[in-house]
């Protein structure tokens, strides 16, 4: 039977978990420094580090990316399934983003609002006071905006902003989300906890993308950053408003 | 964590080797270990909200890999194939760092162990992690890990006793 004390790693030596966290840059500076110092003086851990690195190199030589590879005779059906499924996911997300971001151009660089279509509004909280905002609303640093959306059918939603310094930011979904959030059908549905305005003064435009398919948030943000505008595209509706940040 | 292809690819390149290495250590079979890599990363990419950044990504993946590998072992069909694929004395991939007899013995136990004892057994016997490290992965206290290990030991002894009768 199994020993009840199976740990063969000498006290003070580095676990594989610690090696993995170190490799992933997840250790704080002190822990990383301790680990590196130990490896320099410990043959066992130095050997283990080399083994792990060689193993990682060998794995990535066999399966270097998530992209489809030329099928090898020895590869199992499951591995092919992996590539196909991963690419299906990535492709569907990036295609949806591409549809949103590449097909859209307005001659005037502006945006449109569909009558009766999904739309975004907002409320401003300034100190203890809360009021509904509108296009061209004058707001201040430290004001909190809470967005509300109305849509008659379920949509994938991303809310972005472009400030006066042409910096694009993600307002919705939360930072940890990689793809758009599904919302609705709903009327004046409040999104998350809102955003606090920074000290960048001038005009800021907030864009809400309502799409039939999921959208890769970061791709949308990067495109807004580059193109400085978003417009409508097949499968998506864009609504927007501008606020003016003053002191 | 963002979802564009470059980021996903970078995540994969940084973390997939350790997912594979651990799955291989648990399952002892490269093909099955690669299937676990598929399951873990597809699950992460399809439902990124499951990783809420409450812990580091590495510990999250340790937990996800353990669950995916244990599920494969618990699947009776997989378990029988794993056992028949790895007869004692057959050369093992050296990266498993586990001798075949011990792995077979452990896999037999892992297939029967209830959660969360299965995960604790993997982290303790195969990963050779400390109580603190196991606590971080499981998201519980060090003391609770001690209790789980006591339960695990009692369970193993009961099995041993049953086998000797």
Distances (CA, A) of A62 to A19, A65, A161, B20: 22, 9, 42, 12
Q: What is the mean pLDDT of residues A207-227?
A: 86
Of the ranges A124-138, A202-216, B5-19, which is most confident? A202-216
Of A29, A18, A27, A75, give the one whose Cα is nearest residue A52. A18
The Cα of B160 is separated from the nearest Cα of chain A by a number of Å equal to 7
Whether A178 sits inside 8 A of B156 (CB atoms) is: no
At residue A43, the 3 state secondary structure works out as helix
What confidence category does residue B163 fall into, taking pLDDT thresholds of 50, 70 and 90?
Answer: low
Chain A residues whose beta carbon lies within 8 Å of the beta carbon of residue B48: 176-179
pLDDT of residue A64: 75
pLDDT digits (tens, 9 = 90+) for B12-58: 999 999 999 999 888 877 888 888 998 898 888 877 777 776 678 99
The long-range contacts involving A134-137, CB below 8 angstroms and separated by at least 24 positions, are: A134/A241, A135/A241, A135/A242, A136/A242, A136/A243, A136/A244, A137/A241, A137/A243, A137/A244
Identity of the residue in B7, B48, B56 whose CB atom sits nearest the CB atom of A177: B48
- Residues B69-110: tens digit of each pLDDT: 988 887 755 555 554 444 333 333 334 444 555 666 677 778
Q: Which helix (H) or strand (E) holds A47?
A: helix A43-62
Pairing outcome for strands A236-246 and A137-140? parallel
**pLDDT, averaged across chain A:** 75
Contact list in B for residue A16 (CB cut-off 8 A) is: 18, 21-22, 127-128
pLDDT tens-digit readout, B57-71: 999 999 999 999 988
Q: Is the pLDDT score of A163 beyond 80?
A: yes
* Pairwise CA distance, residues A228 & A157, whole Å: 19
pLDDT of residue A94: 34
What tens digit of pLDDT does each residue of A94-105 get?
Answer: 333 332 222 222
Residue B137 is predicted with a pLDDT of 93
Check pLDDT > 50 for residue A14.
Answer: yes
Using a CB-CB cut-off of 8 Å, the residues of chain A touching B17 are 55-56, 59-60
pTM here is 0.53
ipTM of this predicted structure = 0.83
């Amino acid at each position: 039977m199994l020993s009840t004390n199976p740990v063969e790693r000498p006290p003070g030596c580095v676990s594989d978990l610690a090696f993995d966290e170190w490799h992933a840059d997840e250790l704080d500076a002190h822990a990383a420094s301790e680990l590196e110092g130990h490896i320099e003086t410990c043959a066992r851990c130095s050997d283990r580090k080399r083994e792990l690195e060689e193993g990682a190199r060998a794995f990535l030589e066999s399966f270097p990316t998530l992209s489809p590879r030329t099928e090898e005779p020895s590869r199992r059906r499951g591995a092919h399934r992996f590539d196909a499924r991963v690419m299906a996911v990535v492709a569907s997300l990036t295609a949806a983003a591409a549809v949103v971001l590449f097909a859209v151009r307005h001659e005037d660089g502006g945006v449109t609002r569909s009558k009766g279509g999904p739309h975004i509004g907002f409320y401003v909280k300034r100190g203890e006071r809360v009021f509904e905002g509108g296009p061209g609303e004058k707001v201040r640093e430290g004001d909190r905006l809470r967005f509300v959306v109305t849509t008659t059918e379920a949509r994938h939603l991303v809310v972005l902003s472009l400030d006066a310094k042409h910096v694009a930011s993600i307002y919705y979904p939360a930072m940890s989300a990689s793809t758009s959030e599904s919302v609705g059908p709903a009327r004046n549905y409040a999104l998350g906890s809102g955003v606090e305005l920074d000290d960048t003064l001038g005009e800021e435009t907030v864009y809400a993308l309502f799409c039939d398919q999921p959208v890769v948030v970061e791709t949308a943000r990067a495109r807004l950053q580059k193109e400085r505008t978003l417009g409508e595209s097949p499968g998506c509706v864009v609504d927007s408003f501008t606020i003016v940040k003053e002191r | 964590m963002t979802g564009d292809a470059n980021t996903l690819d970078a995540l994969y390149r940084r973390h997939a080797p350790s997912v594979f290495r651990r799955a291989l250590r648990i399952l002892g079979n490269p093909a099955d270990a690669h299937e676990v890599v598929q399951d873990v990363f597809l699950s992460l990419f399809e439902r990124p909200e499951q990783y809420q950044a409450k812990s580091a990504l590495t510990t999250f993946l340790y937990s996800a890999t353990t669950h995916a590998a244990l599920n494969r072992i618990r699947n009776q069909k997989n378990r029988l194939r794993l056992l028949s694929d790895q007869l004692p004395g057959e050369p093992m991939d050296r990266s498993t760092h586990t001798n075949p007899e011990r792995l077979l013995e452990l896999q037999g136990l892992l297939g029967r162990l209830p959660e969360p004892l299965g995960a604790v057994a993997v982290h303790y016997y195969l990963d050779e992690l400390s109580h603190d490290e196991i606590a971080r992965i499981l998201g519980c206290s060090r003391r609770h890990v001690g209790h789980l290990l006591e339960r695990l030991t009692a369970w193993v002894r009961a099995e041993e006793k049953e086998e000797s009768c």
